[in-house]
Each structure stands twice: as structure tokens, then as C-alpha cells.
């Protein structure tokens, strides 16, 4: 600003006429506004990120205006249109419907959102501020970030699914909607990232492990209770989360009971907590609910032979099971454990059994040292090993890879123990079952519910 004032003085000395003096007065009167604009530009975060070319161009325009005023040229300030400030701030991209933008594009920093942070309490409260635990947590950041990426994919895909699943859709359409969205958002790439296990869409008395095989014509009805259970993985770090969809409000209390029970189990979980104690709290909450269906009142029962589970890398079911009833299990949760707390409520007996056609399969984690003699079974196993490893798969996934006439070979692999089949799990016919599930990690300083969202 001082240099500008000196310039005006020098011009005034050389050009000693009234018009020039009037121009200098006009320029000097404009100076405070320019100064305040300069100050605002220096302080504003957005102005600092403007391209140099744009800034220089604006500067040149200002100098041209000043020269015109100094030479007595007509300015017509009152009628002059104010220049609009260029806004070069990039708009944050938002997800499309259906979801088609990969998560890495939405989060170019490759840092993904945290889940729900729950502070430890009582005997573990010291962990929150312990420097050694904080350092360990920073060391494991990449692992947590992989899980958060998978969790964000799950949130965005299920948001679309919950909005668009409607009666009249086939179960195949529902599963393909979810799986196509998952593959796109996570940028499915073999064992680096992809679907963690087949999409479950079990109906009514079927509690789990149903996904349609080729040719399945089942259509979702208004009176159905549909459990949507799907998983996403990044570098083998699996997010396992499920919810229940209904369209008839008669089932509201059934869903409320199971959701409350799942949240109770998550709240009770922590380092050194016994698994049986968590099951006891889940059972107490679940059984406190009743639901009236068709004029008959049912106490909501936890399905006692279904459990939550620990999750290991590339292994959906780890070595620890989280009961949903009080079974007295003294096993403790430990620092670093990943768990899926999932609870199932039923209006039936509260016990499930195998029934219906098998659709879920998985390669044995510890492959038996038995040679595969059937040539077709051997080539099929090579495909399974190459494409899925220890991650579960379904027959639709084999169809998608172009495998044909594989049922006999698949049965042979199951018989030899190289592959395990997971048939649908059902309660008594006429009953209704519901499910809610979340994945969390027991970090050194806090518990993080990775898959938590605004929906559940």
C-alpha cells in the first residue's frame, strides 16, 4: 500500500492538473477497501488455495483499472458491474444412486471415517490416556483404516439397499443389487478387496445362510421378515454386519428386541470381559420383549444355538464364539480382537436346524492332506482356491466365473473335507426370526464399532 501511495505522489508531481489530483483522491479513497480485501484474502483459507494464475490475472485487472483512473479515463464506477469472485473450491463428490463411485474417489486422501468410538470404563479406564497404548494404536493404523474402508462401503451400499428393497423383487435381484454395489465401491480385486461372503437374505423362519441359487424364483412379499447379511473385506479385514427388513408394522417389536439385544451385547463387550456374561445380558434384554402377531402374543426368544464370533484375517469365523444366552463360557475378550456381535430373535422355539438347499460354501481353513482323485473336483478346487481362498462363496459366484456342471465335483470336495457346506438354518415353520449385527475392534485405548451407521 505504501508503494502505491508513493506512485500516486510521483504522478501528481509530474502531472499537475486538477483532473489528476481528483483521480489520486479517488484512488486513495479506494485504498482502505482494497486493504481490507487484501487482509480478508490473507486470512481466508479458501483464498490461500486459489491458483496463482487466477490471482495474478485479478491483480493485473486491478492495476489496469488504477491506471485508467490515474489518466483521467472515464470510470463509470456506479454502473460498472462488480466482478464475481471466482470460487475454485472443489465440491466434495457425493455417492450416486445406485452407488457407482468407488470409495477411493470419494476419499482421495485414502483416510476413511472412524466408526463409533466407545471409551473403556472401570478397570480399563487407564487405557484411554496411556502413552504406550496410544503408540501401539498408531502403529496399527493401516489395519484399522482397511477395516474402516470396508465399513464405509457397507454403510453406503446398505443405505441404497434399505431404500430400494421392496416387495415384488426376487431374492436374486436383491442380492445382485447389494453385490454389484459392493464390488464397485470397494473396487473388488481378488484378495486385496471384495465381497467377504455371500449375501444372506433369509426369510421368515429361516434365520441364516440362505442366498438364492441359479433358477431361484422366490419373490419378496409384504408380510415377509427378511434378514440382509452381507460382508466386505479389504486386505482380508472383514466387516460383517446385518439388519432386518419388514414392511408390515406388526413385526416392529420383534425388530426392536433384536436391535436392543445387539446393542446391549456391544455395550457389554470389552477387554477381559467373559463371553458368557455378554450372553447373559443379551438374553435378559431379548426376553423382555413381546410381539403380537395375528392376535397371538409371543415372547421373543434368543436363538440359543446361533452365536456371534471373533473375526480373523480372511477368516469370517474365528476361534471365539459370543453366545446370545447365558452359557457360562469363561473365555475372555482380548486386546486386538475383532468381533461380530450378532443376535437372533424368534417367535418359534429359539433353536435352528439345517434345512433347504445348500447355497453357502467355504474352503476348509486347514485343508486335509487327502489327495483329490476326481479330475473335475481337482480343477474346481483350484478355482475355489484361486478366487476365494478361505472366504466363503456361493453357487452363484461359481456361475459368474463360468463354471458349469460342477455340482458333483462340489459334493465330492465336501465329502473329502476340502470344502464345507453351510445349509440354511431354520426354526419351526410359521415362526418369524430377526437379526442385527455389527463388527467392532477392541483397540488398545478404546472400542470402535466399525460398522455403526445412522441407520442402526
Give the span between the Cα atoms of 217 and 232, in whole angstroms: 26
Neighbours of 357 (CB within 10 A): 11
Helix (H, G, I), strand (E, B) or coil at 386: helix
144: left (phi over 0), alpha (psi -120 to 50) or beta: alpha
Q: Which of 146, 179, 229, 337 is catalytic?
A: 229
Helices (H), 15-113: 18-43, 45-48, 52-70, 103-106
* H-only helix segments in 221-251: none
Q: How many residues does the chain have?
A: 456
Helices 275-286 and 252-268 cross at an angle (nearest 10°) of 160
Task: With beta carbons less than 8 A apart as the criterion, state whether 309 and 340 touch.
Answer: yes
Round to whole Å and give the CA distance between 68 and 65.
5
Residue 205 annotated as catalytic: no
Instruction: From the candidates 154, 205, 233, 317, give the one annotated as an active-site residue.
Output: 317
Active-site residue among 66, 152, 224, 437? 437
SS3 state of residue 436: strand
309 belongs to an annotated ligand binding site:
yes
Tell me which residue has cell 435378559: 284
Active site residue 387: no
CA-to-CA separations, 11 to 3, 5, 59, 167, 292, in angstroms, rounded: 12, 10, 20, 81, 92
Is 6 part of any known ligand binding site? no
* Cis amide linkage into residue 98, ω under 30° from 0: yes
229 is catalytic: yes
438 carries a ligand binding annotation: no
Give residue for cell 483522491.
Answer: 25
Among this protein's residues, is 438 annotated catalytic?
Answer: no
From the candidates 337, 342, 427, 448, give the one annotated as an active-site residue. 342
Catalytic residue among 309, 360, 418, 438: 309
Helices (H) and strands (E) in the chain, counts: 13, 18
Q: Which of 240, 260, 427, 448 is catalytic?
A: 240
User: Residue 240 annotated as binding?
Assistant: yes
For 275, half-sphere exposure in the C-beta direction (CA atoms, 13 angstrom radius) is 21
- 437 labelled ligand-binding: yes
User: Residues 310, 275: contact at Cβ < 8 Å?
Assistant: no
124 closest CA partner among 269, 266, 261: 269
Instruction: Note whether 439 and 151 are within 8 A (CB).
Output: yes
Annotation-wise, does 131 bind a ligand?
Answer: no
Please tell me whether 229 is known to bind a ligand: yes
Contact status, residue 403 vs residue 300, Cβ threshold 8 Å: no
Residue 309 falls in the annotated catalytic set? yes
Closest to 348 (Cα-Cα) out of 285, 245, 252, 432: 432
Hey, which residues are catalytic here?
229, 240, 309, 317, 342, 437
Binding-site positions for substrate read 209, 317
| Binding-site annotation, residues | 209, 229, 240, 309, 317, 342, 437
- Residue numbers in the known binding site for a divalent metal cation are 229, 240, 309, 342, 437
Amino acid at each position: 500500500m505504501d508503494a502505491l501511495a508513493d506512485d500516486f505522489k510521483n504522478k501528481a508531481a509530474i502531472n499537475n492538473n486538477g483532473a489528476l489530483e481528483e483521480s489520486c483522491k479517488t484512488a486513495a479513497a479506494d485504498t482502505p477497501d482494497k486493504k481490507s480485501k487484501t487482509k480478508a484474502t490473507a486470512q481466508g483459507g479458501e483464498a490461500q488455495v486459489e491458483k496463482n494464475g487466477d490471482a495474478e490475472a485479478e491483480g493485473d485487472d486491478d492495476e489496469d483499472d488504477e491506471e485508467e483512473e490515474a489518466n483521467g479515463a472515464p470510470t463509470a464506477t456506479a454502473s460498472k458491474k462488480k466482478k464475481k469472485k471466482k470460487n475454485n473450491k472443489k465440491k466434495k463428490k457425493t455417492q450416486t444412486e445406485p452407488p457407482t463411485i468407488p470409495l477411493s474417489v470419494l476419499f482421495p486422501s485414502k483416510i476413511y471415517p472412524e466408526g463409533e468410538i466407545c471409551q473403556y470404563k472401570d478397570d480399563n479406564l487407564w487405557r484411554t490416556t496411556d502413552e504406550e497404548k496410544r503408540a501401539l494404536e498408531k502403529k496399527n493404523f493401516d489395519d484399522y483404516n482397511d477395516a474402516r474402508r470396508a465399513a464405509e462401503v457397507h454403510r453406503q451400499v446398505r443405505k441404497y439397499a434399505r431404500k430400494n428393497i421392496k416387495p415384488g423383487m426376487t431374492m436374486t435381484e436383491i442380492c445382485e443389487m447389494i453385490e454389484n454395489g459392493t464390488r464397485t465401491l470397494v473396487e473388488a480385486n481378488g484378495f486385496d478387496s471384495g465381497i467377504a461372503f455371500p449375501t444372506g437374505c433369509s426369510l421368515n423362519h429361516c434365520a441364516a445362510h440362505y442366498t438364492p441359487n441359479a433358477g431361484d424364483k422366490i419373490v419378496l412379499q409384504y408380510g415377509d421378515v427378511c434378514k440382509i447379511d452381507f460382508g466386505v473385506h479389504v486386505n482380508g479385514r472383514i466387516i460383517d454386519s446385518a439388519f432386518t427388513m419388514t414392511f408390515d408394522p406388526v413385526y416392529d417389536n420383534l425388530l426392536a428386541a433384536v436391535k436392543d439385544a445387539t446393542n446391549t451385547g456391544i455395550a457389554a463387550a470389552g477387554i477381559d470381559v467373559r463371553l458368557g456374561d455378554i450372553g447373559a445380558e443379551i438374553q435378559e434384554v431379548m426376553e423382555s420383549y413381546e410381539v403380537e402377531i395375528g392376535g397371538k402374543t409371543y415372547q421373543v426368544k434368543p436363538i440359543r444355538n446361533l452365536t456371534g464370533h471373533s473375526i480373523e484375517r480372511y477368516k469370517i469365523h474365528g476361534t471365539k464364539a459370543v453366545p446370545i444366552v447365558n452359557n457360562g463360557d469363561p473365555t475372555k475378550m482380548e486386546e486386538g480382537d475383532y468381533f461380530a456381535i450378532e443376535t437372533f430373535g424368534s417367535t418359534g422355539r429359539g433353536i435352528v436346524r439345517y434345512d433347504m438347499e445348500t447355497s453357502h460354501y467355504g474352503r476348509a481353513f486347514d485343508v486335509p492332506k487327502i489327495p483329490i482323485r476326481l479330475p473335475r473336483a481337482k480343477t474346481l478346487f483350484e478355482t475355489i482356491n484361486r478366487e476365494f481362498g478361505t472366504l466363503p462363496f456361493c453357487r452363484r459366484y461359481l456361475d459368474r466365473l463360468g463354471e458349469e456342471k460342477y455340482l458333483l465335483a462340489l459334493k465330492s470336495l465336501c465329502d473329502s473335507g476340502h470344502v464345507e457346506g453351510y445349509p440354511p438354518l431354520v426354526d419351526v415353520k410359521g415362526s418369524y426370526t430377526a437379526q442385527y449385527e455389527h463388527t467392532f475392534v477392541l483397540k488398545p485405548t478404546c472400542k470402535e464399532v466399525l460398522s455403526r451407521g445412522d441407520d442402526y
